[in-house]
Amino acid sequence: MINKINKEIKLFISSIDGIEKNSVSEICEKFKTSISESLKNGHITTNVCMIAGSILKSNPKKLATDLHKRISDLKIFENVDIAGPGFINITLKREDFLSTLNNIYEKNVNYGSSDFGEGKKVQIEFVSANPTGPLHVGHGRGAAYGDALSRILKNTGYEVEKEYYVNDAGRQIDILTASVIIRMLKKELNGFFPQNAYRGEYIEIIGEKFGEEIRFNEASNLINNLPSDAEDEINEIITSLKTKDLMIWNKVKNHSLSIIVELIKEDLSNFNVLFDEWFYESSLGSIKESNSEISSSITKLSKDGIGYKKDGAIWLNTESCGDDKHRVLVRKDGRATYFASDVAYHKNKIDRGFDKLINVWGADHHGYIKRIEASVEALGTSKDKLIVKLVQFANLFKKGKKIKMSTRSGDFYSLKDLIDDIGADAARFYYLSKQADQHLDFDLDLAKSDSKENIFYYIQYAHARIFSIEDKYKKTTKKQIASKTDIKNNSYSKCDELIHEISKFPNLVLKSSNSLQPHLIVFYLRDLSQLFHSFYNDNHVLSESEENIELIMFCLGGVKQTIANGLGLLGITPMKKM
RNA sequence: GCGCCUGUAGCUCAGCUGGAUAGAGCAACUGCCUUCUAAGCAGUGGGUCAGGAGUUCGAAUCUCUUCAGGCGCGCCA
Give bridge partners of residue A121 from the DSSP assignment: A159
- Judge whether residue A487 has pLDDT over 90: no
Give the side-chain half-sphere CA count within 13 A for A466.
Answer: 29
Rounded Cα distance between A163 and A128, Å, is 8
**What are the b/e assignments for A555-573, b being 16+ CB within 10 Å?**
bbbbbbbbbbbbbbbbbbe
pLDDT at A563: 97
pLDDT band at A411 (very low <50, low <70, confident <90, very high): low
The reply to whether the CB atom of residue A210 sits less than 7 A from any atom in nucleic acid chain B is no
- State, as a whole number of angstroms, the distance between the CA of A47 and the C1' of B62: 19
The reply to whether the CB atom of residue A41 sits less than 7 A from any atom in nucleic acid chain B is yes
Rounded Cα distance between A150 and A166, Å, is 19
The reply to whether the CB atom of residue A55 sits less than 7 A from any atom in nucleic acid chain B is no
- Judge whether residue A486 has pLDDT over 70: no
pLDDT at A406: 60
Set out the domains of chain A in order of their start, with CATH numbers: 2-92 (3.30.1360.70), 97-116+452-569 (1.10.730.10), 171-263 (no CATH)
- Judge whether residue A483 has pLDDT over 80: no
Q: Are strands A121-125 and A356-362 parallel, antiparallel or unpaired?
A: parallel
pLDDT at A408: 62
Of residues 276 to 305 in chain A, which lie within 7 A of strand B by their beta carbon? none
Rounded Cα distance between A157 and A122, Å, is 10
Give the tens place of pLDDT for each residue, A379-392: 989 888 999 999 98
- State, as a whole number of angstroms, the distance between the CA of A550 and the C1' of B43: 32
Closest CA to A180 of A127, A115, A256: A256
Give the tens place of pLDDT for each residue, A123-178: 999 999 999 999 988 899 999 999 999 999 999 999 999 999 999 988 899 999 99
Stronger pLDDT, A396 or A43, i.e. the higher one: A43
Q: Which nucleotides of B are covered by protein (CB under 7 A)?
A: 2-6, 12-15, 17, 19-21, 24-27, 32, 35-37, 39-42, 56-58, 70-77
Of residues 384 to 413 in chain A, which lie within 7 A of strand B by their beta carbon? 390
pLDDT at A155: 97
pLDDT band at A410 (very low <50, low <70, confident <90, very high): low
Rounded Cα distance between A79 and A43, Å, is 10
Closest CA to A454 of A464, A465, A445: A445
Give the tens place of pLDDT for each residue, A366-376: 889 989 999 99
Of residues 167 to 206 in chain A, which lie within 7 A of strand B by their beta carbon? 167, 170-172
pLDDT band at A405 (very low <50, low <70, confident <90, very high): low
pLDDT band at A190 (very low <50, low <70, confident <90, very high): confident
pLDDT at A131: 93
Give the tens place of pLDDT for each residue, A432-464: 999 898 888 888 888 887 777 789 999 999 999
Rounded Cα distance between A550 and A482, Å, is 7
- State, as a whole number of angstroms, the distance between the CA of A76 and the C1' of B48: 47
pLDDT at A546: 87
Q: Which residues contact A432 (CB under 8 A, 6 or more apart)?
A: A144, A145, A148, A518, A519, A521, A522, A570
Rounded Cα distance between A537 and A528, Å, is 14
- DSSP readout, A237-264? HHHHHHHH-HHHHHHHHHHHHHHHHHHH
- State, as a whole number of angstroms, the distance between the CA of A300 and the C1' of B69: 44
pLDDT at A121: 97
CA–centroid distance for A460 within its chain: 21
pLDDT at A484: 67
- Judge whether residue A556 has pLDDT over 90: yes
pLDDT at A181: 93
- State, as a whole number of angstroms, the distance between the CA of A438 and the C1' of B69: 13
The total of other beta-carbon atoms located within 10 Å of residue A212's CB is 6
Rounded Cα distance between A259 and A198, Å, is 15
CA distances from A60 to A28, A48, A66, A212 (A): 15, 9, 10, 85
Is there a contact between A80 and A88 (Cβ–Cβ < 8 Å)? yes
pLDDT band at A179 (very low <50, low <70, confident <90, very high): very high
> A216 exposed, middle or buried (CB, 10 Å; 0-12, 13-18, 19+)?
middle
- State, as a whole number of angstroms, the distance between the CA of A62 and the C1' of B20: 18
The reply to whether the CB atom of residue A17 sits less than 7 A from any atom in nucleic acid chain B is no
User: Is ipTM > 0.90 here?
Assistant: yes
Query: Which nucleotide is at minimal CA–C1' distance from A363?
Result: B71
Query: Which nucleotide is at minimal CA–C1' distance from A577?
Result: B37
Of residues 493 to 512 in chain A, which lie within 7 A of strand B by their beta carbon? 511
Give the tens place of pLDDT for each residue, A69-103: 999 999 999 999 998 888 999 999 999 999 889 99
3-state SS, residue A121: strand
The reply to whether the CB atom of residue A429 sits less than 7 A from any atom in nucleic acid chain B is no
- State, as a whole number of angstroms, the distance between the CA of A484 and the C1' of B23: 36
Query: Which nucleotide is at minimal CA–C1' distance from A544?
Result: B36
Of residues 120 to 159 in chain A, which lie within 7 A of strand B by their beta carbon? 130
Query: Which nucleotide is at minimal CA–C1' distance from A37?
Result: B20
